[in-house]
Structure 1
Amino acid sequence: MKIKSIAAIAAAATMTAAGSAQAQDCNLGISMYTLGAPYFAAQEDAARKAAEEAGCTVRSADGQNDMVKQIGDIEDMVAAGINVLIINPRDAQGLVSAVNAASAQGVHVVAIDSTLDPSADFITQIQSSNEANGELVGDWLAKKLEGEPARIALLSGSQGNLVGRERRLGVLRGLMDSMLTNYGSAEVEVVGQGWGNWATEGGLTAMEDLLTAHSDINVVLGENDSMVLGARAALQAAGRLDEVILVAAADGQKEAYELIREGEYGVTGLNNPNEIARMAVEVGLQALNDELPEDMGKLTFTQPAAITQDNVDEYYDEESLF
């Protein structure tokens, strides 16, 4: 499978969205598998705004975390005459038939964020690189620890989730490699794993349980910012906040950025919903006007970054929904 980064295709993406819309009428559909979390709401909002600024007619649907409903949403939008579809799929395999049917009707399909099986007929999948972000976050953590052992409380989203697995392994790989490279040894222990279901309240509850069982935690590693923010509240209530480095593998939630600015949160990986959504609209418009780069692959990564106090102001957006 050919993989391209945003940087690799940026030179080919020189036309403005408005110019693209002028070349051919744009009827764009946005199919989100859920809008029940701020991250996905921000993604939908950014895609809608980018498309409307380009002069597109926009239809949007909330799948409500129900694959059958999302399939129906796509069918309805195709029947209504969309010619570009931005989809955040509920299930990698379960949405393949609906995507293939849309493409067969001449719809240009761009997948975002959640994984869609690459065998499906779509242009590209735009997402952040969990591996690359994780390694940068792990490197930052190793240098922050300055050779001291890492005793990690791990907050994971949901069991069996492939994105969560990629995120935690990326950070742990980066941490181990940087410890060995910079200090000649690596002592890393995951003292416990809690399941926070990607939510702030879930992170709080999981952290309370981990604190009860383990007195020597010096790192909290979460697979997203929301769970780490919940863990922070638990640490604060227990009077142990100053003992622990807060680390998120991904997201860049606004509340986390604000704490990073104040030096009260360590690092998070860049997974900007606005950037992903805007790029998806741009690619969809390129496809609509037959202006896609010839070498575009099925997977397009945004530029990875570890967001720390040193660079947070480059990424913080007060107007973002997330």
Structure 2
Amino acid sequence: MKKKKWYSLLAVVVIALLLFTACTPAETTATESASASTEAQASTEASGEESAPASASTEAAAGEVHEIYQLMPKLSLAGIVNPYVEDRADLDKAWPKEPAAEGTLKIGWTEINQSSDWFIAVKNSAEEKAKEYGYELEFLIAEDDPQTQSQHIDTFITQGVDIIVVDPVNSSAPVADINRAVEAGIPVLCVGAVPENCAALTTLCSNTFMNGYLTGQYMAEQFAADEEISATMIVGVMGSSCTESRLCGAVSGILKQRMEAKGTPYASDEDAWLAGYNLFEEIKSNGKGGSDEAGFQVTGYGTGDWTIEGGLAAAEDLCTANAGMNLMISENDFMAAGALKALTSANMKDQVKIGSVADGTREGLDLIKSGDLLCTGLNSGIEQGEWAIDFIHAIFEEGKDCSDLPLESLFTPGVISKENVDEMYDESIGFYKTQEFQFPQSIPELKAENQ
């Protein structure tokens, strides 16, 4: 995508963000949002690569596209749209499908857990939306166990539901189960975490890399062009695609803004992504890394397990070892809240700015309103639950075409900051103001937009 085109897309995102509002968080025990908790089983993805949502075309293999696309799939690049993704129209996905019983639509949903306010919001919002449409929804909890999730899918096949929703416990475990359901004539919609290549209609999920890319740019804008940024990072768990793509996106965004501020911009967003990817890999391998040219250094990172308590513990260690830092990048709002406590205790609150990449919780927005947090990104459990049911309504009752969707259908990314927090704030819910559902783009539409 060319740079001017990316600017126009960012402008569209900013305008869209001004149309909605925000917010409430979880308790101190709350864990990370959907895909992060989904992929906390980092051992299943510890190689640093995961199967592509849809394989890259032979054009990429032939070296005719930017290097960043040739690197895909990578955990740390999840969320970058590959304009050379192969069509899926000819893949049997058990679609089209008519409800088994006239006037009734039966949905079977297997969810990872209910261990945090994020997952609770997914369940509650899905049930409310299904009730609104008059659908029958059976919502089962896998308790982080792939075998239990497999049994759920078998149960739904035996029941003959009209469609199955799967939030994968990990990327590989449910693939055979999904394909088995499709072979039985039942379409499958995934949410939250993208499974390895399979016959699901698509996966509805937040755009982790681009949320990082946008929030990273915003964080960097808070520093003068000649001011060195000495940063630390608090991550959920390295080895999770959610963690790695969010932080890789943030590093890429910071590099992009810094190089622009210094008058030596990258030729394209792809170049910024590639530079960010290389720097993130250095940080991941060595525990630190930086760019003298951009005036940006990451001097350390800590693991916070997506919780307030984890963020507090990680930040305490980082404060001790990095007395000269002036920026702390947190993967999510919960860890940022813990980090703020550590900075306050260490008398470093005035010295160190904190930015969050996700989730847009009410607690995160409260911290933005008070001036204690620079920003956060979009990732609402309410949207995840509601929009899955909206998608099902769209394909069964509104005639929407789901025959050639990518395996990864990404929600619009965005930044919440002091500039728009008031417009996005809503005291009645746990996240930013819920947006209107938009049916995902097909592969041909994505190709036309991005080439």
TM-score (norm 1): 0.88
Residue aligning to 2:276: none
Alignment of 1:192-207 (within 5 A): 192-207=300-315
Residue from 52, 65, 70 that aligns with 2:149: 70
Residue aligning to 2:330: 222
1:94 pairs with 2:173: yes
Instruction: Write out per-residue CA displacement over residues 146-183 of structure 1, whole angstroms, 9 at most, x where no aligned residue.
Output: 22222111111113111111110101101101111123
1:125 pairs with 2:203: yes
Which range is displaced more, 312-321 or 192-201?
A: 312-321
Q: 1: CA distance between counterparts of 2:319 and 2:302?
A: 11
Instruction: Write out per-residue CA displacement over residues 78-106 of structure 1, whole angstroms, 9 at most, x where no aligned residue.
Output: 32332122221111111111111222233
Q: 2: CA distance between counterparts of 1:209 and 1:256?
A: 22
Residue aligning to 1:107: 186
Residue from 88, 97, 104 that aligns with 1:25: 104
Q: 2: CA distance between counterparts of 1:310 and 1:106?
A: 49
Residue aligning to 2:94: none
Q: 1: CA distance between counterparts of 2:132 and 2:143?
A: 26
Give the CA deviation at 1:321. Answer: 4.0
* Residue ranges of structure 2 left out of the alignment (5+ in a row): 1-53, 56-80, 83-98, 264-292, 432-451
The answer to whether the 8 Å contact 1:85/1:109 transfers is yes
* Identity in percent: 27
Give the CA deviation at 1:317. Answer: 3.2
Give the CA deviation at 1:289. Answer: 4.3
The answer to whether the 8 Å contact 1:110/1:283 transfers is no
Q: Which residue identity is paired with 1:245?
A: K
Q: 2: CA distance between counterparts of 1:109 and 1:193?
A: 38
Give the CA deviation at 1:108. Answer: 2.6
Give the CA deviation at 1:309. Answer: 1.2
Residue aligning to 2:435: none
1:144 pairs with 2:252: no
Give the CA deviation at 1:229. Answer: 1.2
Q: CA RMSD in A?
A: 2.2
Q: 1: CA distance between counterparts of 2:319 and 2:366?
A: 25
1:54 pairs with 2:160: no
1:135 pairs with 2:249: no
Q: 1: CA distance between counterparts of 2:200 and 2:257?
A: 37
Instruction: Write out per-residue CA displacement over residues 195-231 of structure 1, whole angstroms, 9 at most, x where no aligned residue.
Output: 1111111111111111111101211111111111111
Q: 2: CA distance between counterparts of 1:71 and 1:287?
A: 25
The answer to whether the 8 Å contact 1:251/1:271 transfers is yes
TM-score (norm 2): 0.64
Q: 2: CA distance between counterparts of 1:321 and 1:133?
A: 19
The answer to whether the 8 Å contact 1:228/1:247 transfers is yes
Give the CA deviation at 1:295. Answer: 4.5
The answer to whether the 8 Å contact 1:84/1:285 transfers is no
1:310 pairs with 2:310: no
Q: 2: CA distance between counterparts of 1:207 and 1:307?
A: 23
The answer to whether the 8 Å contact 1:109/1:284 transfers is no
Give the CA deviation at 1:268. Answer: 0.8
Q: 1: CA distance between counterparts of 2:151 and 2:332?
A: 30
Give the CA deviation at 1:273. Answer: 2.0
Structure 1 residue runs of 4 or more that deviate by more than 6 Å after TM superposition:
none
The answer to whether the 8 Å contact 1:84/1:288 transfers is no
